[in-house]
Amino acid sequence: MPKFVCSMTYDLSGDTSEDARGLLRAELVARRWNDRLKERALPRSAVWMLKSSEETTDKIHDQCTRDLRAAAMAVRATGRSITVLRAWIHVSGGGTYGLAGADAFKDSPPADHGASTGESQ
């Protein structure tokens, strides 16, 4: 069976708490994503996985998007606020890469981005 290395980085809204960020990472790790490589931590919004599959790279890319969405929804189900703004997914072995689909997070509530404090992004 072919093996693929999938990597994913994501941006969360600025108003996502550290607690929610940590829980999202834990949810992804529970879904078999790795947040370390050879005992070294990856950047806090990056994960990777080795996946064996007969699926096309496009389908694997879509599965990665679904994993991130499901993890974010699990965090939201705990009552924490979280908004995934965008994600970069790369599936090597077949060579597909790109952003998660534009509508993947369409039901995420809009983020305030500091408007109430007068801060700008």
Domains observed in the chain: 3-112 (3.30.70)
Model pLDDT for residues 40-51, shown as the tens digit of each residue:
888 999 999 988
Q: Which of 2-6, 24-28, 94-98 has the lowest mean pLDDT?
A: 94-98
For the record, the structure tokens of 93 come out as 């072995």
* CA gyration radius, the chain: 15
Residue 121's pLDDT band, with cuts at 50, 70 and 90, is very low
Number of Cβ within a 10 Å radius of residue 16: 20
Q: One-letter amino acid identity for 103?
A: D
Model pLDDT for residues 39-95, shown as the tens digit of each residue:
888 899 999 998 888 888 899 999 999 999 999 999 999 999 999 999 999 998 855
**Collapsing DSSP states into helix, strand and coil, what is residue 64?**
helix
Per-residue pLDDT, 48: 94
The whole-angstrom separation of Cα 73 and Cα 15 is 16
Smallest CA-to-CA distance from 91 within 63, 72, 66 is with: 63
Residues 6+ apart with CB under 8 A from 118: none
Residues 23, 25, 30, 34: what is their CA dihedral angle, to the nearest 10 degrees? -160
